[in-house]
Structure 1
Amino acid sequence: MISSELLRIRYSLTTRVVLAILVAEALFVGLLVAFLPSLIDGLIALNKVIPNATSADRLSEEQLAALTLASPQIQTLIADILGNTGVGTSLPVIAATLFGALAITGEFRRGSIINAVLNQPIRPRLILAKATAIIATSVAAAILLIVVQGGILGLGLIVQNVPLLINVTALLSMWGRGIAALILYALLGMGIGLLVRNQVATISAVFAAIVIESIVRPLALLIFEAGNPTLYLPFGLGPDLIASTPLSALGADVQLSAGISAPAAMVTLALWACAMLAVATARFTRTDIPVHG
């Protein structure tokens, strides 16, 4: 049953589109940041040909140094598979959530969920098989991102002749937390999709939650000095999961909240995913299944 679920996900258009977007984003951001000093040098040279064409020559020496791979924060920015900058929800987090959601809502849209239930009438087992397939796919996608982003980081270090400034243990730990986070976000999305069932409504619900959270989090800082409950909302946990705000290398205060520890953030995200899956599974087990969501 798990193998059939893996095959269904493997040949799904949704999976290929989400993976293509993730890889394209990783390549674009990674290469841009890794070779940003060369780009800035080119812009400064352009100003000599066309006066005031860009503002690149107004950057201070400190700012220019902060934009090179000689900064540990910039190396972290390239290597982080969650795409965390310290501000807002990242594209990998959104993509993982939508992947989990669309993987399940697509079956309701096509009606294939009926055949799945007939083949496995014990519905919790069916959900477990689908969750296992989503977990395996998320791990494979995360490993691909590690290869891509690790390769870009290595290439950038060679070109700029800069040593790796991130502790290897810390780097592996960050990648491990990134894999776990992508799995949990995919399961959270699966729970949302299983609960809502309709694809358009599910996508709307995910983006509505992200937008509302992005508004509520900074506003709550004005009310709660300590014990801010919005710190435990799921879609803003990225900086806490990685325990880093890479854009701080530029000397700007980009942290919108005090944050929580990485272990607490991981446990919080796991609780969100488990709770959503539990509620969705209870509904799926006790209600009739419509052919269309």
Structure 2
Amino acid sequence: MSLANASRSELTKQFTTAIWWVLALVLLIYVGGTAGGLAATFAALASGAIPADAANGSTLPAELLPPVIYSLATAVGYVFPLLIGTLLVTNEFRHKTLTPTFLATPRRGVALGGKIVAGILMGLLYALVALVATVGLGAAMLAVFGVDTALDSAEIWAMIGRMVIAFALWALIGIGVGTLVRNQVAAVVGVLAFTQFVEPILRTVGAFVDGVSGITEYLPGAASDALVGTSIYTSLGGDTSASGLDWWAGGLVLLGYAVVLTVLGYLTSWRRDVS
């Protein structure tokens, strides 16, 4: 079977189950609700609709709101392409469908290549969903309060393009994780534990301890923020720079994670016998 046919087969598997649209719906609601709520709150403060002295914490000036709100797609939504990439592989192990997959595509490199292509396309689909939520709803809330949406800015559209790339890279990282860790429960729990607890704690420590930030900026979430160029987690103090890394370096770090995980998975788990 050719790579094109293997990729088509993988996409058919994805769209004949409910998990892809369930995750997409949760992504839309979660990211859209976050973007809409924060956009309305910060825009109301920036426009004076809510008195500035009513704020209990940091606020953002109006000119910084569009990139911060739009970048919520990756800042809080990156776990969704990561999960779909992981599930794309581990579903095969869980449901014992990898044997017929390998019988249909005896060349295991081609079979994995089909999953990689399918993962990239799923990442792009999830990027579209996330951008509809953040750019669509976020811009609407900014406009309601008279804040410039900056949608006529080339810099904003360049950032949106980098966000799309980030989603595709996160899906590839998920495929790497799924290829390396056969057990679906272990892979999913590991992904959630690292992205929602371990890395946020490490990055928080890095923000307060000298010398640690030089290490934590190479963590995948930090690299993703660097690629995008903006993150709400680093912008509440008025600074829109997401990391010490340049955007292209952040992208290379993310790609590096995807390549290393996938190669390790291919050399170990993927080439083993399946029952």
Matches within 5 A, 1:227-242: 228-242=214-228
Aligned to 1:140: 125
Equivalenced residues, count: 266
Cα displacement (A) at 1:104: 1.0
260 and 21 in structure 1: CA distance in 2 versus 1, 3 angstrom threshold: same
Cα displacement (A) at 1:126: 0.4
Does the CA contact (< 8 Å) of 1:97 and 1:187 recur in 2? yes
Q: Deviations over 1:10-31 (max 9, x none)?
A: 1222212211111001221222
Q: Distance in 1 between matches of 2:73 and 2:36?
A: 16
Q: Distance in 2 between matches of 1:193 and 1:208?
A: 15
Q: Deviations over 1:53-77 (max 9, x none)?
A: xxx76x428989946xx61322123
192 and 249 in structure 1: CA distance in 2 versus 1, 3 angstrom threshold: closer
What is the TM-score of this pair, normalised by structure 2?
0.82
Matches within 5 A, 1:183-198: 183-198=168-183
Matches within 5 A, 1:32-47: 32-36=37-41
2:116 is equivalent to residue 111 of structure 1: no
Q: Deviations over 1:236-283 (max 9, x none)?
A: 32332222244666547899x963221111110101101111111122
62 and 222 in structure 1: CA distance in 2 versus 1, 3 angstrom threshold: closer
Aligned to 1:87: none
Aligned to 1:17: 22
Instruction: Read off the aligned partner of 1:123 and give its amino acid letter.
Output: R
Instruction: Read off the aligned partner of 1:280 and give its amino acid letter.
Output: G
- Compare 270-279 and 149-158 and name the one that shifted more: 149-158
Does the CA contact (< 8 Å) of 1:71 and 1:165 recur in 2? no
What is the TM-score of this pair, normalised by structure 1?
0.78
- Match of 2:112, SS state, is helix
Instruction: Read off the aligned partner of 1:30 and give its amino acid letter.
Output: A
120 and 81 in structure 1: CA distance in 2 versus 1, 3 angstrom threshold: farther
106 and 65 in structure 1: CA distance in 2 versus 1, 3 angstrom threshold: closer
* Aligned-pair identity (%): 24
Does the CA contact (< 8 Å) of 2:71 and 2:230 recur in 1? no
Does the CA contact (< 8 Å) of 1:73 and 1:245 recur in 2? no
Cα displacement (A) at 1:159: 2.2
Q: Distance in 1 between matches of 2:143 and 2:260?
A: 45
- Compare 203-212 and 158-167 and name the one that shifted more: 158-167
Q: Distance in 2 between matches of 1:37 and 1:73?
A: 10
Instruction: Read off the aligned partner of 2:248 and give its amino acid letter.
Output: P
- Compare 29-38 and 181-190 and name the one that shifted more: 29-38
Aligned to 1:171: 156
Aligned to 1:74: 65
Instruction: Read off the aligned partner of 1:74 and give its amino acid letter.
Output: L
Q: Distance in 2 between matches of 1:95 and 1:13?
A: 15
Does the CA contact (< 8 Å) of 1:232 and 1:268 recur in 2? yes
Who wins on radius of gyration, i.e. which is larger? 1
Does the CA contact (< 8 Å) of 2:31 and 2:133 recur in 1? yes
Aligned to 1:213: 199
Q: Distance in 2 between matches of 1:114 and 1:37?
A: 52
Which runs of 5 or more residues in structure 2 are unaligned?
none
Instruction: Read off the aligned partner of 1:238 and give its amino acid letter.
Output: S
